[in-house]
Structure 1
Amino acid sequence: MTADGQWMTFLALMLPFAAAAIAPFLTGLFRHNAAWVLAIAPALIFLHFTGFLGSVAGGETISGGYAWIPSLGVDFSWYIDGLSLTFALLISGIGTLIVLYAGGYLKGHEHQGRFFSFILMFMGSMLGLVVADSFLTLFVFWELTSITSFLLIGFDHSREASRRAALQALVVTGLGGLSLLAGLLVISAATGETSMSGLLAAGSALREAPLYMAALLLILGGAFTKSAQFPFHFWLPNAMEAPTPVSAYLHSATMVKAGVYLLMRLNPVLGDTAAWETILPVFGGTTLIVGTLLALRQTDLKLMLAYTTVASLGLLVMLTGFGSEKAVEAAVLYLVAHSMFKGALFMVAGLVDHESGTRDVTKLGGLRAEMPVTFGAAVLAACSMGGLPLFFGFLAKEEIYAALGFADGWTAIFTLVAIIGNGLMFAIGFAVALKPFLGPKVKTPKHAHEGPVLLWLGPVVLGTLGLVSALVSGLSHYFVSSPMSSAVAGETVSVTISTVPHVGLPLVLSVITVALGVAFFMTIGRGRAAMAAVLNAIGWGPDKGFDQVMRGLTRTSYRITGVVQDGKLDHYMTVTFVAVAAALLIPMVLFGELPSMPSIPAMPFYEWVVLLIGVIGLGAVIYARDRLTAIVSLGIQGFAVALLFMLMGAPDLSFTQFMVETLSVVILALVMTRLRLSPTDHRPTREKIGDVVVSGLCGTALGLMLLKVTQVPFNGELSEFFAQNSRVIAHGRNIVNVIIVDFRGTDTLGEIAVVMITGLAILALVRIRAAKPADTATKEG
């Protein structure tokens, strides 16, 4: 990539964040027309990535980046192949339509500018995630999608349901993010690679590594939570508390597919193992069935679509787990088809709600005459979702059955799962597309009519694309399906399926699926009642379990805090000193690092006198009958150390020590007299014994550590550095002062800040104590 190309790609990745920064200003400036202006940003990004289609279709990969943290070897880098390019086009292309749709849906909303800012940041986060090459870049953008989705889901923060849904999504996906981080660290430790391109070039190195299983499970933890696989599926339907533009974007092209993207990206290095080909199909197939059955239970249009998204994600994970060439092709085709028809149907659901005042499918009907454009877009999207001929969804469904079939008992099970799941999704898709529009006219809370162009433009474009992309399947496969399938499979793959039906088992299974879907659609009311009865009988579910876990966590935290943070200073100090003693003594004992006991040195009599002064001071502190005497006696220790500094030829340190000890004693004595604390120690004997033990352990631990340090061979490199550079760099002759002021200036500033904060705390305490007698006198008067 040329320097200009690198710069343009970097600008494309940063453009959503720049647009997010100015979105509130533009919304105020252009009032209700800001959507047209803000949509320019994702449209330009789409055009930029479209320029890579020819190169990627020819088998090239585009990489680039800049040094982010050079000292740690961390780069802000990107890697664009068929997989990341397809995602980038979906994110920016559908993102353009979502921004326009949001302009109509939230017209007149007082916080529309804030919403635009959030949705654009979300777009930038997802875009950065799918093109990231560096592991660190991937993780940063992965977490940004969780944070920005939290802001979007909780956009209507005045409602408790929105706040709960946002928190739930953040907790579940945030825990998954930690799992992903651990997985990336394990992969790096196992292979030595820190980038996706390097990992893909390493071939089977990860599969052959002893840490393979640990890496696989941790990566699956991140992918399954992000893409709502059972039993982590519950957060996704609850995210429907967000405004419909968020739902449409979340489900079609962004966050929920991040986990699927990760699995597809790592398929060449993690796939083709028994664990991969067992765990993914089992969890994916389970999610497919659970999602469709739960969708059958719903009457809210958005919830019906949300649960089918859960099911679709399960289908994608199941196909990725099989990993064969046909299964990869099927997963790629279905992912693209799903992005188009699900985005369109969500926008249709929001449009119906916006214009009629309700999303309850049982309270809707006969809107075809009032909303003909919306009805047409809904039918187009439903035909693709149902896998009918001439639509892109048909190509995906045919390839699914070609990949599975009934080759053996294992694949036969998942073929049946796919048939049942696809049949249920057929019924739900057409229930969303037909029930509100056909049948007798039902009175709705608002007088329904066709929405403005901003609202129906998105579903019409996406619904039409689901048809056109299948009719020109040759071009679609050349530029999108084949390059993406090749990237997922790790080898060259050529997708050839067309809209012309080919007689064979896949076509037979498609016909069975459609027939089953029609049967489900005709009996959807009874199916809904049956599922409601089953769910009521079961009662408990993961969603309720989440609330129980959060309540248990809160109560446990409260109880632990009540024990650990009991508000008693002496308890905090005891725990601190015990921890210090344990941290020093235990490693020395366990690892045999205790120092050898030194012999008593031959010291001049005056050094013995100084030592004796220190011992006398220690005794005075211990046996002092009041705190003031103990504080004054404590200064004896400091003066003894200052005398040792002087005798050892360090008068500057000795002078500093004298000043510090004098000021400390004077200040503490003044404070103690002002506080009027109890003059004697009323602690019981057992507490005194405990304190003696703790202080003895700390003194012993510190003494042993200092002895051990003095017995280690002296390394004079640091001393030589300061001696050579103090005058040259810091322009000071006093090395100690230069170290404190220049080389350790930040550390010294921190120490000063600590002393200042301590002084302010003492001053506040003195003022509080001094005010009490006056307050008491006032009350008595």
Structure 2
Amino acid sequence: MGMNAPAWTFAALFLPFLAAALAPVLVGRFGARAAWFLALAPFLSFLNFLRFFGEISRGEVVTGGYMWAPSLNLSFSWFLDGLSLTFAALVTGIGTLIVIYSGGYLKGHPHQGRFLAFMLLFMGAMLGLVVSDSFLMLFAYWELTSIASFLLIGFDHERPAARRAALQALLVTGGGGLCLLAGLVLLWDVTGITQMSLLIHMETSLRESPFYLAILLLVLGGCFTKSAQFPFHFWLPNAMEAPTPVSAYLHSATMVKAGVYLLMRLQPALGATPAWEILLPFFGGITLVAGALMALRHTDMKMMLAYTTMASLGLLVMLTGFGSPHAVEAAVLYLVAHALFKGALFMIVGAIDHEAGTRDISKLAGLRKFMPWTFAAAVLAALSMAGLPLFFGFLAKEEIYAALAAGNPRAVFFTTLALIGNALMFAVAFGIAFKPFLGVFAHHEGVRHHIHEAPLSIFLGPAALALAGLVAGLASGVVHTYVSSPMASAILHETVTIDISTLPHIGLPLFLSLVTIAFGLAIFWKLSRVRSLMAALFESLGPGPDRGFDTALNALLHFAASVTRIVQPGRLEIYITITFVLVAAMLLVPPIVFGELPGLPPLPAGGVLVQEGLFLGIAVIGIAAVLRAGDRLTAIVSLGIQGFAVAVIFLLFGAPDLSFTQFMVETLSVVILALVMTRLRLSPSDSRPIGQRLFDGILAIACGLGFTLLLLKTFETPFDNVLTDFFNAYSKVIAHGANVVNVIIVDFRGTDTLGEIAVVTITGLAVLALIRVRAGGKTP
């Protein structure tokens, strides 16, 4: 790696964020053309990562970063191997096309600059996530993707559906993020490691740790919510409320694959255990079949693709957890193929919606006459999604069947799930590629009369990705050398060579592929009938997790309101009472329960005892004056007697500075309180009932006794004069002050003193505002 490689990689990670900051300004100046300029940021990042494929394919890794807090082993560091480099290339490469696509799709939109800023922010967050080496960096970017997706999904914030979908995505993925944080903290505690590149060498100690299952479940909580695994899948289809560029990017190469990425990254450390090989295939298989079935019940093409994305994510999780090298190889191939064909199909649906004014597949036909090039791109992407020969999707499907097919019941079960899911997704792909384009065009309600080919900015992205799926299949040897094999090697932590080609090989995988094609064609032929059956089926099942989310959220809000009414009733005396009850409990309960009560200190002899007793008696007289005061003003003035008595005691013990401070505080407190209280009714006395007085008196005595016991217990410990010696030795040398107390306040703890001054200042301003309040409640 060259001398400037770390600097270039660091710049590549921040280019999307820089472009996000410039987006509103550039769009305001250049309009939709600004998207072409902004696309340079991810494109330059893509070129930076592209140059690493050679050395990564030779088994090397690229690391870099900067130490942040060395004492805590926290750093801003990145780690590039076959897995993270492939994801980085997908994020930036597809991101470049998405930015250009967004410029054409949202041309003329008044908030296009804001949209592009959010999109580039999301891109930078996802890029940082996949290359992160440190746990802290990974989690920070993980949460940033949730925040950015919230902004993108809720971009059309005037629609309640968009706001609900954005909030739902944020709550689900944010809750999963908290689980992930707990899992990462446990990983740190168990291994003492804070970097992903080192964690993969700790598989033995992790699997033997008593905390392994807790770590696995917490990590799965983060990954399953992010990658929309059952039963957390419901947020992903609702995210279709976002504009189509968001759907195309989020569902192809970014956020929804973040969970899959982390599972692949952690497989060397957490995989190859019964829990891993049971939980991942089980939930992945359910997600695969459920997503594929639900895709068939919709007529909105974006929803159809959204549910097939859910199914594809389930397939990836199932393969990742299956436990064999071939399954990982299949997951690698399918992940890359899915990014290409799904990104293309989403953008094609957006192009249809942009030109025809609708995404309803039941209202569209004959568009091939008006959009021939879009039709060609749709066919190429659909053929790859269907897994037909010559396309990269075919390689993935063949490898899936080669990895899963075997004679044992477990293999038969998961092979059947994969076959059903692939066949259903085959039908969806063909439905989107052929139903809107073939047949006779008709003017249904909501369909525009004048339809034409999409502009270059909209057509470029789907055409490039659809062709990439074909080229990758034809040049599979090159792709395996630089992408597939290094990626699988990084996941398995051993050298892997993938050599599957697009030429069909006679065997069980080919037979299963033929069965998949036949099954998929049959469903496609009767797509309308199957759609009706699926709609009726899911309707009969009743409310699903999406409705359950609303129920749970409403219950949480009602519970929070009930708790708030109890603990926040709006009465200051209740808050003060609760506070002092807790203080008394914390001070008295522990020493009584654990037998840590202090002994009585020896009483001083001579005149000092007389003087102390005298001023303590004055303090008692002050308390009695407060309690017996006939009005509130008298009580306030009497309140200062205790403070003055304490100040004299400080003076007797040789602390004149502290005594002077106490005198000033007590004087100012009485004056300020008196000034404030002049705006209130001061004539009434305290009219609390005898029961309330008794309770308050007991509470006050309990708090005073608690603090007294705490101080006495503190005095029983040997005096540590380390700080005393330090301040005595350095106050004159460092701060050039002979008064040690002043030096401590002004120099050694100057920031603390500044904070205290700020608090006093703010309090003074608040008091001044209260003093200026008129009797009618209005300020001058």
Task: Give TM-score scaled by structure 2 length.
Answer: 0.97
Q: Is the 8 A contact 1:323 1:489 kept in 2?
A: no
Cα drift, residue 729 of structure 1: 2.9
Q: Does 1:468 align with 2:471?
A: yes
CA offsets per residue over residues 625-658 of structure 1, 9 Å max, x none?
A: 4322222222111111111111111222212211
Structure 1 counterpart SS, 2:207: coil
Aligned twin of 2:193: 193
Cα drift, residue 670 of structure 1: 3.1
Cα drift, residue 250 of structure 1: 0.2
Q: Does 1:702 align with 2:707?
A: yes
User: Which amino acid in 1 is paired with 2:510?
Assistant: L
Cα drift, residue 603 of structure 1: 4.9
Structure 1 107/674 Cα, relative in aligned 2: closer, same or farther at 3 Å?
closer
Structure 2 counterpart SS, 1:204: helix
User: Which amino acid in 2 is paired with 1:288?
Assistant: L
Aligned twin of 1:553: 556
Q: Is the 8 A contact 2:583 2:703 kept in 1?
A: yes
Aligned twin of 2:747: 742
Q: Is the 8 A contact 1:625 1:680 kept in 2?
A: yes
Structure 1 48/365 Cα, relative in aligned 2: closer, same or farther at 3 Å?
same
Which of 694, 704, 729 is 1:689 aligned to? 694
Aligned twin of 1:675: 680
Q: Does 1:660 align with 2:653?
A: no
Q: Work out the CA distance in 2 between the residues paired with 1:770 and 1:268.
A: 73
Which of 515, 520, 532 is 2:518 aligned to? 515
Structure 1 counterpart SS, 2:296: helix
Structure 1 stretch displaced more, 566-575 or 1-10: 1-10
CA offsets per residue over residues 306-350 of structure 1, 9 Å max, x none?
A: 000000000000000012100000000000000000000000000
Cα drift, residue 772 of structure 1: 5.6
Q: Work out the CA distance in 1 between the residues paired with 2:779 and 2:405.
A: 90
Structure 2 counterpart SS, 1:84: helix
Structure 1 counterpart SS, 2:354: helix
User: Which amino acid in 2 is paired with 1:477?
Assistant: H
Q: Does 1:325 align with 2:325?
A: yes
Structure 1 counterpart SS, 2:679: helix
Q: Work out the CA distance in 2 between the residues paired with 1:210 and 1:771.
A: 67
Aligned twin of 1:26: 26
Which of 483, 486, 498 is 2:486 aligned to? 483
Residue correspondence of structure 1 range 123-162 to structure 2 within 5 A: 123-162=123-162
Q: Is the 8 A contact 2:73 2:194 kept in 1?
A: no
Cα drift, residue 538 of structure 1: 2.2
Cα drift, residue 766 of structure 1: 4.1
Q: Does 1:630 align with 2:635?
A: yes
Q: Work out the CA distance in 2 between the residues paired with 1:674 and 1:28.
A: 54
Which of 523, 526, 529 is 1:526 aligned to? 529
Cα drift, residue 23 of structure 1: 1.2
Cα drift, residue 692 of structure 1: 1.6
Structure 1 562/678 Cα, relative in aligned 2: closer, same or farther at 3 Å?
farther
Q: Does 1:361 align with 2:361?
A: yes
Structure 1 counterpart SS, 2:293: helix
Q: Is the 8 A contact 2:633 2:682 kept in 1?
A: no
Structure 1 counterpart SS, 2:110: coil
Aligned twin of 1:778: none
Q: Does 1:569 align with 2:568?
A: no
Cα drift, residue 446 of structure 1: 4.5
Aligned twin of 2:499: 496
Cα drift, residue 11 of structure 1: 0.5
Cα drift, residue 430 of structure 1: 0.8
CA offsets per residue over residues 673-706 of structure 1, 9 Å max, x none?
A: 3322352111112211221222122111111111
Q: Work out the CA distance in 2 between the residues paired with 1:591 and 1:513.
A: 71
User: Which amino acid in 1 is paired with 2:760?
Assistant: V
Q: Is the 8 A contact 2:203 2:270 kept in 1?
A: no
Q: Work out the CA distance in 1 between the residues paired with 2:254 and 2:675.
A: 65
Q: Work out the CA distance in 2 between the residues paired with 1:210 and 1:263.
A: 20
Q: Work out the CA distance in 1 between the residues paired with 2:194 and 2:407.
A: 39
CA offsets per residue over residues 278-323 of structure 1, 9 Å max, x none?
A: 0000000000011011111111010000000000000000000012
Structure 1 stretch displaced more, 302-311 or 205-214: 205-214
Q: Work out the CA distance in 2 between the residues paired with 1:509 and 1:650.
A: 91
Structure 2 counterpart SS, 1:463: helix
Which of 649, 652, 656 is 1:647 aligned to? 652
Q: Work out the CA distance in 2 between the residues paired with 1:662 and 1:765.
A: 19
Q: Is the 8 A contact 1:635 1:662 kept in 2?
A: yes
Q: Which runs of 5+ in 2 are unaligned?
A: none
Q: Work out the CA distance in 2 between the residues paired with 1:589 and 1:90.
A: 63
Q: Work out the CA distance in 2 between the residues paired with 1:740 and 1:774.
A: 37
Structure 1 332/648 Cα, relative in aligned 2: closer, same or farther at 3 Å?
same
Q: Work out the CA distance in 2 between the residues paired with 1:766 and 1:659.
A: 21
Corresponding pairs, count: 775
Structure 1 counterpart SS, 2:63: strand
Q: Work out the CA distance in 2 between the residues paired with 1:763 and 1:640.
A: 29
Q: Is the 8 A contact 1:78 1:131 kept in 2?
A: yes
Q: Is the 8 A contact 1:26 1:34 kept in 2?
A: yes
Residue correspondence of structure 1 range 221-232 to structure 2 within 5 A: 221-232=221-232
Q: Is the 8 A contact 1:347 1:458 kept in 2?
A: yes
Q: Is the 8 A contact 2:201 2:269 kept in 1?
A: no
Structure 2 counterpart SS, 1:683: coil
Structure 1 673/113 Cα, relative in aligned 2: closer, same or farther at 3 Å?
closer
Q: Work out the CA distance in 2 between the residues paired with 1:703 and 1:581.
A: 11
Task: Give TM-score scaled by structure 1 length.
Answer: 0.97
Q: Is the 8 A contact 1:675 1:766 kept in 2?
A: no
Cα drift, residue 596 of structure 1: 2.4
Q: Is the 8 A contact 2:234 2:545 kept in 1?
A: yes
RMSD over aligned CA atoms reads 1.6
Aligned twin of 2:184: 184
Residue correspondence of structure 1 range 340-351 to structure 2 within 5 A: 340-351=340-351
Aligned twin of 1:334: 334
CA offsets per residue over residues 242-292 of structure 1, 9 Å max, x none?
A: 111110000010000000000000000100000000000000000001101
Cα drift, residue 3 of structure 1: 4.2
Q: Does 1:408 align with 2:408?
A: yes
Cα drift, residue 202 of structure 1: 2.3
Q: Work out the CA distance in 2 between the residues paired with 1:707 and 1:622.
A: 28
User: Which amino acid in 2 is paired with 1:668?
Assistant: L
Cα drift, residue 457 of structure 1: 0.8
Aligned twin of 1:729: 734
User: Which amino acid in 2 is paired with 1:652?
Assistant: D
Q: Work out the CA distance in 1 between the residues paired with 2:325 and 2:248.
A: 30
Q: Does 1:602 align with 2:605?
A: yes
CA offsets per residue over residues 205-263 of structure 1, 9 Å max, x none?
A: 21111110010000000000000000100100111111111100000100000000000
Q: Work out the CA distance in 2 between the residues paired with 1:376 and 1:593.
A: 83
Q: Is the 8 A contact 2:165 2:238 kept in 1?
A: yes
Structure 2 counterpart SS, 1:205: helix
Q: Work out the CA distance in 1 between the residues paired with 2:503 and 2:681.
A: 96
Cα drift, residue 489 of structure 1: 1.1
Structure 1 358/268 Cα, relative in aligned 2: closer, same or farther at 3 Å?
same
Q: Work out the CA distance in 2 between the residues paired with 1:145 and 1:595.
A: 54
User: Which amino acid in 2 is paired with 1:672?
Assistant: M
Q: Work out the CA distance in 1 between the residues paired with 2:686 and 2:152.
A: 59
Aligned twin of 1:99: 99
Q: Work out the CA distance in 1 between the residues paired with 2:606 and 2:378.
A: 96
Q: Is the 8 A contact 1:19 1:41 kept in 2?
A: yes
Cα drift, residue 774 of structure 1: 12
User: Which amino acid in 2 is paired with 1:610?
Assistant: F
Structure 1 stretch displaced more, 242-251 or 637-646: 637-646
Q: Work out the CA distance in 2 between the residues paired with 1:164 and 1:393.
A: 35
User: Which amino acid in 2 is paired with 1:36?
Assistant: W
Structure 2 counterpart SS, 1:403: helix
Q: Does 1:445 align with 2:438?
A: no
User: Which amino acid in 2 is paired with 1:727?
Assistant: K
Q: Is the 8 A contact 1:365 1:439 kept in 2?
A: yes
Structure 1 772/91 Cα, relative in aligned 2: closer, same or farther at 3 Å?
closer
Aligned twin of 1:314: 314
Q: Which runs of 5+ in 1 are unaligned?
A: 776-781
Q: Which runs of at least 4 in structure 1 moved beyond 6 Å after TM superposition?
A: none
Q: Is the 8 A contact 2:319 2:328 kept in 1?
A: yes
Structure 1 counterpart SS, 2:208: coil
